[in-house]
């Protein structure tokens, strides 16, 4: 078959740029619409890429209008707010071929209380938790926890969507109290919140695509959520990722059976089949894979480090999920290591307003680098010049046969970029644990 399919991707960031690159590689895809996208996604692409900026991620109807205009053959709803807004349901009800979980299935991400109760029903290993609507009851609960063990850690998590910033770690009672009070700042997303036992270990992200019955797991990744090196500073949407992450064979086996299979099976049993990307945020706690959370889409920035490894035609994989035929597709990934480093406006995740509109230099040089991918988030393009328009601006991904080479590729490309007034911020330690393991031969 020739290049005939038009694919529409719903989302705006570097993850959606990465997904568009995966479809661009497909022999079956001729044209890609990204809604709302960002300017740089459409810059100098091999295939036709069209942006539809009127897409509003919280308004499913805005995507219906765009879909009616372009009549895409496939729509990939890749972003969490859009999934929670019921975009998949609405577009399907109008006869479009849509990839992504319906609103009721995406609840596994947009309602963390419901998600934990679902895990309880299906005996999925996770930390102990309690959910709350009342600040005072939550405070009483953590008082009780810390009086038994003052050295413990707990997480206070907003039940609703918070752009990846709603899980707050507490190392002592005072911090736990503070974090409970902070739930108000998340508005309706923080009205209900969950308090969970803090587990200790290295975290990983794991991805499966499912057609509702069977699933396929991709290689793992590790996100770096804090804004500064060595996991210091505020929580962000993600400052970098490495793929694959350090996950032992034993843990990988547990993830597939205890975390992914049970979730897909559980959703099916509850009459709520899960078709889409299932993202497990997990931790290896004393040799046991434990669930930190499920999300209903690829992670950002993990997607940037995982998806370029997929050698099988991505449109074929996604269409097979929609058709309930995933088990018949043989999916291959390469065995390279990838390091993704996120470039952000100085000040992010707090006030970065002074960086807005500043010129970004060096991006075109990065496009010429070998073993490097550049995916954009907050970049405005005017007259072939680039300007900062957001907190996280772009992801630079380096690839190689090992972590040292992948890191070298990513950071030498990153060194080519600057923002007027020295306003570029990025972490310089992405992959440090893996480098250490590599050098020690572990
Ligand atoms: N990497 C975290 C997220 O996508 O939610």
- 119-151 pLDDT tens trace: 999 999 999 999 999 999 999 999 999 999 999
Distance 300 CA to ligand 1 centre (A): 5
Give me the chain's average pLDDT, please: 96
Tell which one of 224, 281, 340, 430 to mutate to probe ligand 1, the residue whose CB is within 8 A of the most ligand atoms.
281
303 and 228 in one domain? yes
Judge whether 123 lies within some domain.
no
Distance 140 CA to ligand 1 centre (A): 31
- 289-316 pLDDT tens trace: 999 999 999 999 999 999 999 999 999 9
324 and 248 in one domain? yes
Nearest to 237 by CA among 294, 168, 292, 165: 165
Judge whether 108 lies within some domain.
no
Distance 237 CA to ligand 1 centre (A): 6
- Residues within a 6 A CB radius of ligand 1: 164, 223, 238, 295, 299-300, 302
**What is the pLDDT confidence band of residue 110, given thresholds at 50, 70 and 90?**
very high
CATH of the domain at 420: 3.90.600.10
CATH of the domain at 15: 3.40.50.20
Quote the domain boundaries for residue 9. Answer: 5-103
Distance 234 CA to ligand 1 centre (A): 15
Last residue of a domain, one of 197, 223, 243: 197
406 and 350 in one domain? yes
SS3 407: helix
Judge whether 114 lies within some domain.
no
Distance 227 CA to ligand 1 centre (A): 14
Judge whether 156 lies within some domain.
yes
Other Cβ atoms within 10 Å of 146 Cβ, number? 18
90 and 42 in one domain? yes
135 and 80 in one domain? no
What is d(CA 166, CA 225) in angstroms, rounded to the nearest whole number? 12
H/E stretch holding 262:
helix 262-269
Distance 117 CA to ligand 1 centre (A): 21
Nearest to 284 by CA among 261, 319, 250, 331: 250
Ligand 1: nearest atom to the Cα of 298 = 4
User: pTM higher than 0.85, yes or no?
Assistant: yes
CATH of the domain at 135: 3.30.1490.20
160 and 136 in one domain? yes
383 and 270 in one domain? no
258 and 170 in one domain? no
Last residue of a domain, one of 278, 300, 328: 328
209 and 321 in one domain? yes
Please determine, for residue 1, whether its predicted confidence score (pLDDT) is greater than 50: no
Asked if 258 contacts 265 with a C-beta cutoff of 8 angstroms, the reply is no
- Cα dihedral 31, 34, 39, 44, rounded to 10, equals -20
Ligand 1: nearest atom to the Cα of 301 = 1
The count of structural domains within the chain is 4
Judge whether 307 lies within some domain.
yes
CA-nearest residue for atom 2, ligand 1, is 299
- 209-237 pLDDT tens trace: 999 999 999 999 999 999 999 999 998 99
Alpha helices in 285-440 (DSSP H): 302-306, 314-322, 363-367, 403-414, 432-439
State the burial class of residue 350 (Cβ atoms within 10 Å of its Cβ: 0-12, 13-18, 19+). Answer: exposed
243 and 158 in one domain? no
**What is the pLDDT confidence band of residue 2, given thresholds at 50, 70 and 90?**
low
Beta pairing partners, 158:
193
Alpha helices in 36-194 (DSSP H): 60-70, 80-84, 87-93, 103-110, 112-121, 135-148, 173-182
């Amino acid at each position: 078959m020739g290049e005939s399919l038009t694919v529409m991707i719903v989302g705006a960031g570097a993850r959606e740029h990465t997904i568009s690159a995966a479809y661009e590689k497909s022999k079956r895809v001729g044209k890609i619409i990204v809604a709302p996208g960002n300017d740089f996604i459409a810059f100098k692409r091999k295939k036709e890429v069209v942006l539809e900026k009127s897409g509003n991620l919280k308004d499913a109807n805005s995507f219906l209008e765009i879909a009616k205009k372009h009549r895409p053959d496939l729509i990939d709803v890749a972003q969490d707010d859009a999934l929670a807004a019921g975009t998949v349901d609405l577009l399907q009800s109008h006869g479009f071929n849509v990839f992504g979980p319906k609103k009721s299935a995406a609840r596994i991400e947009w309602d963390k209380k419901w998600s934990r109760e679902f895990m309880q029903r299906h005996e999925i290993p996770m930390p102990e938790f309690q959910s709350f609507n009342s600040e005072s009851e939550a405070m009483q609960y953590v008082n009780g926890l810390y009086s038994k063990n003052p050295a413990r850690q707990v997480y206070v998590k907003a039940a609703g969507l918070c752009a990846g910033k709603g899980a707050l770690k507490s190392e002592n009672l005072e911090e736990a109290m503070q974090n409970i009070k902070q739930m108000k700042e998340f508005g309706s997303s923080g009205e209900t919140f969950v308090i969970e036992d803090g587990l200790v270990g290295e975290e990983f992200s794991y991805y499966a695509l499912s057609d509702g019955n069977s699933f396929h797991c991709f290689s793992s990744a590790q996100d770096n959520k804090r804004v500064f090196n060595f996991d210091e500073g505020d929580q962000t949407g993600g400052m970098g990722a490495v793929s694959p992450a350090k996950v032992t064979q034993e843990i990988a086996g547990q993830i597939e059976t205890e975390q992914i299979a049970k979730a897909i099976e559980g959703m099916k049993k509850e009459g709520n089949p899960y078709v889409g990307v299932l993202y497990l945020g997990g931790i290896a706690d004393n040799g046991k894979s434990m669930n930190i959370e499920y999300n209903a889409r690829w992670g950002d920035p993990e997607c940037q480090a995982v998806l370029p490894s997929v050698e099988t035609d991505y449109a074929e994989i996604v269409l097979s999920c929609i058709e309930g035929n995933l088990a018949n597709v043989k999916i291959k990934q390469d065995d390279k290591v990838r390091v993704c480093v996120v470039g952000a406006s100085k000040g992010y995740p707090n006030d970065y307003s002074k960086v807005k509109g500043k010129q970004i230099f060096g991006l075109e040089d990065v496009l010429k680098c070998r073993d490097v991918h550049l995916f954009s988030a907050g970049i405005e393009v005017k007259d072939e010049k680039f300007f900062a328009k957001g907190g996280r601006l772009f992801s630079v991904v380096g690839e190689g046969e090992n972590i040292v080479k992948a890191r070298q590729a990513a950071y030498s490309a990153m060194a080519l970029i600057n923002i007027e007034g020295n306003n570029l911020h990025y972490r310089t330690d992405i992959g440090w644990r893996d480098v250490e393991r590599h050098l020690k031969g572990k």
